[in-house]
Amino acid sequence: MTHLRSLFTGNDPLSAAERAAMASLRRGGISSVIWIVTERCNLRCIHCYEGGRITPELSTGEVLRVAERLKEAGRPLTFISGGEPLLRDDIMILLRKLKEFGIRVILSTNGTLVDEKMARELADSGVNNVAIPLYGPEDVHDAFTRMPGSHERVIRALGLLRDYGLSLTIKTVVARRVLPHIKYLFDLAVEYGAKAVYLCDFIPVGRGALMREEVPSKEEWRSLLDWFIDEMLLGGAYGGVEIDIGLHPSTAIYVMERLRERGYDTSRAEERMKDRRLSVEGRGFISISPTGDVYLSNYLTDFRLGNALRDDLKKLLNHPLYRSAGDSSQLKGRCGSCPYKDMCGGSRVKAYIYTGDLLGEDPTCLIQD
């Protein structure tokens, strides 16, 4: 969750979400939560990090109790995700309860189940943003999801949700075969009035472990960022659309260095990154599983902090794992000796997945080869 446009230009299409996260951080120490409410899914995407795993899930009464816990914890920005969350019969009950508690919600759905009735119900639920994955034009997208016609359904969903006045995000995974289609995604974002394109680095885990060759090289990431700098940050293209990067904090450091070289003042961005490290693990972010278990991250299920039904969420922030993940002075390798460690911190997810050490260096760092 690195908002490049707001960091470097001050134009912040997601400002309401950012404000909600910061207000919650001040209230209770938790800024944002990814809550996987189910692992059931109607698609079988080739890159899915969950890899088709299905665990039991909480009952309606239990999810409402977890919602209560989120309220008590300061009302963090809450990403409802899956699996496919719309497969839960009680999803509207949960969304309405979160709204009643004043919690800002981003719903992540694959879009295939959104018809006119669902779009109307989502609008009525008060959900603040709907994030829908798209991997490129029809042939590329349908090959990713392994469901012919899924691209058509996503486009229909975007149109319906826009027509019902919902705020939208288009999200994708930055795999090699998606790279040629990033512009297509921004074009669609403009067409459907989406507030952001969320670009999550591809991590070869789950089913994705079978497609390691799809991990972009550092040079491919740098070329993408150079395009963002020239066309969007300096050129003003797609001005109303945030460039939201997931699981790749050194992207912002790379952009900052390139802008500095060209004589631009980046002091404001530096101050913001010093205030709030880009690597969010141990720094206000938690993840909740379908069983209510709380983890450092939905990618880091070896690191369990407690359970949202039984534990006070704020107290879990004192867990030694949480504290060390958020402590930049404990970082090792190149991240440990990096002058940007308090701003960036490296992806703790990728450090663990690629090196086996939660506090190790992020081997995908874009400012070091």
Q: In whole angstroms, how close is the CB of 199 to ligand SF4 at the nearest point?
A: 17
**Which of 82, 282, 345, 360 is in the footprint of ligand SF4 by CB under 6 A?**
345
Interaction between residue 368 and ligand SF4 (CB under 6 A) = yes
**Which of 136, 346, 348, 352 is in the footprint of ligand SF4 by CB under 6 A?**
346
**Structure-block tokens of residue 320:** 């030694």
Place of tokens 């060759």: 213
Question: 107 near 126, Cβ under 8 Å?
Answer: no
**Strand 77-81 to strand 168-174: parallel, antiparallel, or no bridges (unpaired)?**
unpaired
CB atoms within 10 A of CB 209: 12
Residue 281 is classified by DSSP as B
Interaction between residue 250 and ligand SF4 (CB under 6 A) = yes
What is the x/- site pattern for ligand SF4, positions 182-211, by CB under 6 A? Answer: ------------------------------
Q: In whole angstroms, how close is the CB of 248 to ligand SF4 at the nearest point?
A: 9
Interactions with ligand SF4, residue window 129-158 (CB under 6 A): none
Query: Between 153 and 258, whose beta carbon lies closer to ligand SF4?
Result: 258
The CA angle 154-158-163, to the nearest 5 degrees, is 150
Question: 318 near 312, Cβ under 8 Å?
Answer: no
Interaction between residue 365 and ligand SF4 (CB under 6 A) = yes
CA dihedral 24, 26, 30, 33 (to 10 degrees): 30
Interaction between residue 367 and ligand SF4 (CB under 6 A) = yes
Interaction between residue 55 and ligand SF4 (CB under 6 A) = no
Interaction between residue 341 and ligand SF4 (CB under 6 A) = yes
> 263: which residues sit within 8 A by CB, 6+ positions away?
none
**Structure-block tokens of residue 114:** 């959104």
**Which of 98, 188, 197, 253 is in the footprint of ligand SF4 by CB under 6 A?**
253
Binding site for ligand SF4 (CB under 6 A): 249-250, 253, 334-335, 338, 340-341, 344-346, 361-362, 365, 367-368
